[in-house]
Structure 1
Amino acid sequence: MDQLSAMRVFVRVVETGNFTRAAATLNIPKTTATNMVQALESHLSTKLLNRTTRRVIVTTDGALYYERAIQILSEIQELDGSMSNSQTTPSGRVRVEMAGAFADLVVIPSLCDFYTRYPNIRLDIGVGDRLVDYIAENVDCALRGGTPKDQSLIARKVGELRMKTYASPEYIRRFGLPSHPKELEDKHMSVGYLNATAGRTMPFDFRRGEEVIEVAPRYVVSVNDARSYLTAATTGMGVAQAAHFMARDPVARGELVEVLADWECESLPLYIVYPQTRHLSNKVRVFVDWLAKLVQNLKIEENREQIRKAG
C-alpha cells in the first residue's frame, strides 16, 4: 500500500463528504478511492469512516487521523517545493473564483504579463459572485469584496476599491437627481445588489464630514453579479453604488453620471481567501502575490486620475 497516496485520498473524502466527489477531484476511479481507504483502515487496524448510502461519517479515530494527516501532507508538500525547481518555476493548475467585472476589466487584460512570468501555471477562473464550496469544488482561492465573515477561511487583504454613486441620464430625466442619500429610501429607486454570503441586499453607505448614513435603498430589481448590476444601472433601473474602475468606461460613454457627489462612499475592501485546511502552495502563492500587485496598481492609477482632475 502507498500510504501517502491513501492518506491523500482519505483527506479528500473527509473534505468533500463522499467518495464520488473525492475521486473526481483526484482524477481517479471511485473504486480506487474506496479500496485505498479500506487498505489504510486495514493498515491502521481501525475504522476511519462509517459509510451510508448517502454520505460518509468520520469516526472519532478518523477525526484524529485527519488532523494529523493534513499537517503531514502540508509539510511534505512544502518540503517538496523547497527542494525542487518548482520553487523558482512554479507549475500546475490554480483554480480561482472572482467577480466577473474584476475578471473582465482587471485580471484578464493583464494575464499576458502573468504568463510571461509563470508560463507553466494553468489558471481556471470561475467568474461570478456566488457561494463557493472550496473543498468540494477544489478551489484554491477567491478574490472577494467586503470583509469575509466565514471563520473557516484565511483572508488576506490586498487593497480597497473606491466607490461612487451613479445613475443613468435616462433615470435622471425620468426621476430627477437625488439631493440627499435618505431619498433613496422613499423618493428614488436603486439597483439592489444581493450578497450571496450575507443573504441580503447590501445597504449604501455615505459619509460627509462627521455625518455617516447607512441607507436601505428601495429597488425593483436586485442581482448578485457585478456586471449585471452595472448593466441595470446604465439602462435606467435606478441609482447604484459601484467601484470606480467598473464605472469609468460607462461614464466616459455618457451612460452613467455621478450623483450625490458631495457624499463620500465607504471604500470596498478586497480580500483573497482560501480554506484553512488547504496548504498555500508555491503556484498559488505567486498568483496571489501577482493579484495583490494588480490591485495596488489599480489604486495607484485611480489616485493619478484624481490628481489629474484636481489639477
Structure 2
Amino acid sequence: MEIAHHVKTVELLSIDSMQVYRGMDIGTAKASSQEQAEVRHHLIDLVDPHETFTLVDFQEAHASARKGIDQRNGVPLLVGGTGLYVRGVVDGLTPPPRFPEIAEELEADPETELLHRRLADLDPIGASRMENNNRRRIIRALEVTLGTGRPFSSFGPGLNSYPQVPYRILGIEIERSELDERIERRYRDQMEAGFLDEVRGLAEIELSVTASQALGYKELLAHIRGQTSLDEALQLAIQRTKRFARRQQRWFKRDPRVEWVPRSQLTSVINEISSQL
C-alpha cells in the first residue's frame, strides 16, 4: 500500500489463491473496504467458496485485469505469495491436465500415507518433494501420473527455470522469530475481528477442495464441528501457518530473480521504486 500511496496510478493485483473466494475475508487478510476505496484492487472476490478455481482460471482473470490497467495507463503492482500463482502469472507456466474420475477415486481412499507410498513407487522424485500428509498435493500428483502415464515431476522442469521477465521482484527478508510472532499476533487480531463467526458462516457450505484447505479455516471448521477445542484449533492453525511460511520462503529463495530486502530497509526501497514510476 505504501507504493500505491506514493504513486497514484498504481493498481494492486492480489496473487493469492485464497483471496479469490467471496466471504473469506478476515482469515485471508484481504484489504479492507477503506483500502480498496483508496487504491484499486484486483483478483479478489472472484468466486464463491464452493466453486472450483484453478491456476488457469487465475491466469485468465489476471490477463483481463492487466488489460484494463494497461488501458488506463496504470502501473500494475503484484502482491502476495502463492508461489505457483506467481510463477503462473510472471512466467506463464501452465499446469498438467486434470482427470476428475481418477481424482475422485483417489479421494475415496482415506489413507493419505499409503497414497504417498503409492506415489513414491510411481514417481519417487515427485514424492520426495512433498510431505507425506499433504493430501491435496499427493492426490493431484497421483492423478496426473496415472492419467498421463508420466511422472508428475516430469511436468515441472519449468519450475526450475527462471527466465528474465519485465518485472522487478522483491521479497521481504524477515527473521524467523519475528515472522512467528507476527503469525501469532495475526491470529489474535483475526479472532478479535470476528474470524470464528466468519467461519461459522461457511460451515454449512460444501467448500471446494482448495478453499477447504485455507489456513485457519480448516482448523476452525473442525472446532465448529466438535472435533477440537478452540484452543487446540488455534494452535494447530498457528503451527500449520508457520510451516507454510517456511515452505513459502524456500520456494521464493530458489528464484534468483527475487531481490531480498531487509525489513529495516523496506521504506528506502519503496521510496526508490516510487521515484522511478
- Bigger radius of gyration among the two: 1
* TM exceeding 0.5: no
